[in-house]
A and B are shown apart, each in its own frame.
Chain A
Amino acid sequence: QQKVQQSPESLIVPEGGMASLNCTSSDRNVDYFWWYRQHSGKSPKMLMSIFSNGEKEEGRFTVHLNKASLHTSLHIRDSQPSDSALYLCAASGSGYNKLTFGKGTVLLVSP
């Protein structure tokens, strides 16, 4: 059973549009959520992290967290073709030393 579920599996948005990606953990011991971005043929790089309820914004990227439902979402506004990538959500708990990753969402931004 996958402990971190991501949806949708794939997403196509037009250039300049808004992309919304979702992630939920079924492990009630998690405290931290991470979003990693992986371009084709490259290694994953951390995009944003969120540890507290609420919202965090960095440029075109906004992440939300609801700790009660263990749900996080990533929103990309004014999407660019360079945003096309695999987006991986991960969760970890305090005292753990490891992340559990979801299967990812493939985002394609069409010019």
Chain B
Amino acid sequence: GGIITQTPKFLIGQEGQKLTLKCQQNFNHDTMYWYRQDSGKGLRLIYYSITENDLQKGDLSEGYDASREKKSSFSLTVTSAQKNEMAVFLCASTRTGGSSYEQYFGPGTRLTVL
């Protein structure tokens, strides 16, 4: 078994601010993901990484940067927070050859921009 931890759990920012979210996993998984979920709806892929120092853009990468400096960690940066933005950011990981393996999710970071 393993676990994914995300920090912080809640993040409150100001419009225009750069904000960083962190994710750690101890599954020893190669592939990690960042998703955004709005209002309890579906997940949209922001970035993913199939190995350390690899970055692949998802459908929603504009306005975000990501960093995978270690196999176990994956960070996401909101480059300029948008006013009244509210969303949950979910980190996930899976084994190598990820298309046929289950993704495991972290508990999420809830972002509010004032």
Contacts and interface: CB of A to CB of B under 8 A. Distances in A.
Contact of B105 (A32, A45, A51, A98): A45
Max count, chain B CB within 10 A of own CB: residue among A34, A51, A101? A101
Interface size class of B (residues with CB under 8 A): 20 to 34
A102 B42 CA distance: 6
A92 B90 contact: no
Contact of A104 (B42, B50, B94): B42
A33 to B, nearest CB: 11
Query: By DSSP majority rule, is chain B's interface helix, strand, loop, or mixed?
Result: mixed
Given A88-B43, A104-B42, A44 B90 contact: yes
Interface residues of A, number: 29
Contacts of B43: 44, 88, 101
Contacts of B113: none
11 contacts: A43-B90, A44-B90, A92-B99, A96-B99, A97-B98, A97-B99, A98-B45, A99-B103, A103-B41, A103-B42, A104-B42
Which 7 A/B pairs are nearest by Cβ-Cβ distance?
A103-B42, A43-B105, A97-B98, A92-B99, A101-B43, A96-B99, A46-B102
